[in-house]
Amino acid sequence: MTSTESSGADVFSDIADNYDRLNAILSLGRDKAWRRRAAAHLPAGHVLDLGAGTGAGNEAFGDRWVTAADPSLPMLIRNQARRRVASIGESLPFADGAFDGVFSAFVFRNLTSVAATLAELKRVLRPRGVAVIVDLSRPVGKVQRELHRAGSAVFVPLVGRLAGSPGEYKYLDESLDKLPPPVELYAGGPLTLERTWRMGPFGFVYGAVLRND
């Protein structure tokens, strides 16, 4: 689950070889389905895959023209997208209004600045362009949230140890508590929040659709 933060980029560079396989384990095999459900909200045309990593979302984009952006070169060289750009979300090297849509999966909790990245997305999206975000968040209910916190504190580092990257996966678990729920995170920002939905056990994965009004 990729990152556009410089320290986060180092984390994901270290686990690039096992990234896709471990994502499948951590998501119980559902990560591709979550990406497909979210990508269905993208418009046709030119799409920026922000935090594209190894290209796990490529098959969900259909015949859209995709530019893959990620700060981690070990991840990006594994991506089969035709156009690949090394970049962080907070400072995108693209012209104003360059994209019809932006897709970002499992990135936002690892950003240095969500506010700066959202401002950049607004800049590079055309008017009425759409950004679709998928990420992890603690469940909404108090009981579900505490059960999920206790479970992930054991399961995620265990997977990391099996992969030989215990420190990196400890970081991933801790990042789940970094940001507020999506309805709070995106409210009042430069892009209009149109809808959110929950997926996965206890609803610990969310999707969000934002529009550049």
Q: How far is CA 121 from CA 22, 30, 171, 202, in A?
A: 29, 27, 26, 29
The verdict on pTM exceeding 0.75 is: yes
Is residue 100 one of the residues assigned to a domain?
A: yes
pLDDT at position 158 is: 73
Residue pLDDT, tens place only, 57-103: 999 999 999 999 999 998 899 999 999 999 999 999 999 999 999 99
- If one counts the domains in the chain, the total is 1
Nearest to 159 by CA among 146, 148, 172, 150: 172
Residue pLDDT, tens place only, 159-210: 667 656 656 666 676 777 788 999 999 999 999 999 999 998 888 899 999 9
Confidence of residue 5 (pLDDT cuts 50, 70, 90): very low
pLDDT at position 168 is: 61
* Largest interatomic CA distance in the chain: 46
> How far apart, in whole angstroms, are the C-alpha atoms of residue 98 and residue 112?
23
Q: The domain spanning residue 101 has which CATH number?
A: 3.40.50.150
Domain that holds residue 108: 6-135+178-211
Is residue 62 one of the residues assigned to a domain?
A: yes
User: What are the structure tokens assigned to 135, written together?
Assistant: 């990420």
pLDDT at position 93 is: 98
Q: Name the percent of the chain lying above pLDDT 90.
A: 59
Query: Quick one: average pLDDT of 115-142?
Result: 94
Is residue 173 one of the residues assigned to a domain?
A: no
pLDDT at position 19 is: 63
Is residue 39 one of the residues assigned to a domain?
A: yes
Is residue 145 one of the residues assigned to a domain?
A: no
Is residue 101 one of the residues assigned to a domain?
A: yes
Is residue 161 one of the residues assigned to a domain?
A: no
| Mean of the per-residue pLDDT values of the chain | 85
Is residue 104 one of the residues assigned to a domain?
A: yes
E strands along the chain, which residues? Answer: 46-50, 65-69, 83-85, 99-105, 125-136, 192-199, 205-211
DSSP 27: T
Q: Is the pLDDT of residue 122 over 80?
A: yes
> How far apart, in whole angstroms, are the C-alpha atoms of residue 99 and residue 81?
16
